[in-house]
Amino acid sequence: MAMTAKQVAALAKAGEPIRKSDGKGLYFVVPDSGSPYWALRYSVDGKRKQMTLGQYADMSLADARTEAEVFKRELRQGVDPLIAKQRQKWIGISSVDDLFQDWYTNDLLPRLKHPNIPARIFNKDIKPVIGELKIHDVTALDVREVIHRVRDSGRPTVANDTLGYMKQLFNHAVKLELTANNPASPFTINDAGGLEESRARALKLDEVEQVFKVFRKHLNSFGRDNYLSCCLFLVLGNRKSELCEAPWSEFDLGQYVWHIPQERVKTGIPISIPLPGQAMEWLNELKVRSLGSEYVFPARRRSKLPHMGPDTLNRAISKLFGREAGRKIQPPNVMGDIKHFTVHDLRRTFRSLASSVGTPRHIARLCTNHRQGGVDGIYDRHEYFEERKAAHQKVADLVSPYL
């Protein structure tokens, strides 16, 4: 006969050892020593088995009945719930957060040069929404919520990346047989950030003049550090992470050289960048402004990162164009009719300006640390340092009147 909650409470309070049936294999057990608990008895291949469902203090009668039904459903499907429970405990992967940690450790770290990129997107945009959910509980609606939040924050490219990473993440779960389906697989980029246009944005010299004039006019909100970083990107042509995450230990200011080690370079090949005179002036100012930090651009607000974040500069630029993620009322567009650009477009601008001052193509490519492909790329390891030094200085001389 089924028990009532009052009967269970009375048995627990009495404390007398007992095994009381609630029917359908569910038992309430008060042991000789220890806390009362719920147990499920069942048969597999003619063998009687028992598994503990949970402690009475943590599981009510109604919860125990529900939990028992879940395991009996697995039993009807040919799955021994005791083995499944023990195996799940051994694997230790139950939530989406657990799944990502396993994927990151066993797949991303060995395979990717920059596994921090999917890790950043997971921690910032995926984990807050579904990180605590059980893997098999995640639905297509949950996936849509994640990508729509990113898209609606004004980051369509990141929305596409987020969808791609979720597809890979749940494929990892399918591969490990932790779930039977991938809830992200039906979605396409049309559901996320949409088709991305190929970028070919490079600022012309008159645009450089206008843009930096706006930067200076709004220096109080844009920030002096952001201004100086844009100056450096324009004359050095670096990748964003190389400069934003640069420690002072990489710079030999006495020799006008910046040595970037292989672990911080996309190509995996270390490079020494000659610094034009103008860059030296900006770096000397930044040295003072960094207030003893080990980084050229230390984090100015409370942050998990000790240096400038990956989105900081692009957000500051976009704000001047009247685009600020997360705000219903957008700031005014103070850039006028200038077409929107990003930090990467400043890198492309350097490449364009280098060509305009007569830099040979292979030298201009090396200035942006784009390595030559094919046989020539394998055997030609000459760094062309002096030629690159001349190219950086020519570009700096060209744009310095406008900075």
CA–CA dist 208, 315 (Å, integer): 19
What pTM was computed for the model?
0.61
Residue 244 has a CB neighbour count (10 Å cut-off) of 22
Count of domains for the chain = 3
CA–CA dist 322, 357 (Å, integer): 33
The strand ranges marked E within 141-298 are 251-252, 257-260, 271-274
Judge whether 79 lies within some domain. Answer: yes
151 with 218, same domain: the answer is no
169 with 214, same domain: the answer is no
Judge whether 211 lies within some domain. Answer: yes
How many angstroms separate the most distant Cα atoms in the chain? 93
Question: Looking at 162, 191, 220, which one is the last position of a domain?
Answer: 191
82 with 112, same domain: the answer is no
59 with 142, same domain: the answer is no
In contact, 38 and 64? CB cutoff 8 Å:
yes
245 with 330, same domain: the answer is yes
pLDDT digits (tens, 9 = 90+) for 144-186: 999 999 888 878 888 999 999 999 999 999 898 888 889 999 9
**Which SS3 state, helix, strand or coil, does residue 271 take?**
strand
116 with 251, same domain: the answer is no
Question: What is the per-residue pLDDT for 317?
Answer: 94
Judge whether 251 lies within some domain. Answer: yes
What CATH number should be reported for the domain holding residue 124?
1.10.150.130
Which token pair is 159? 């929305």
210 with 181, same domain: the answer is no
271 with 336, same domain: the answer is yes
pLDDT digits (tens, 9 = 90+) for 371-400: 654 444 443 446 889 999 999 999 999 999
171 with 260, same domain: the answer is no
Percent of the chain predicted with pLDDT > 70: 94
280 with 358, same domain: the answer is yes
User: Any idea how long the chain is?
Assistant: 403
| 145, HSE (Cβ side, Cα atoms, 13 Å) | 11
Expressed as residue numbers, the domain containing 319 is 205-402
300 with 384, same domain: the answer is yes
393 with 244, same domain: the answer is yes
Judge whether 45 lies within some domain. Answer: yes
Average pLDDT on 11-25 reads 92
What CATH number should be reported for the domain holding residue 65?
3.30.160.390
Average pLDDT on 189-202 reads 76
pLDDT digits (tens, 9 = 90+) for 198-250: 567 899 999 999 999 999 999 999 999 999 999 999 999 999 999 999 999 99
Distances (CA, A) of 394 to 227, 239, 358: 21, 20, 9
Question: Looking at 165, 191, 217, which one is the last position of a domain?
Answer: 191
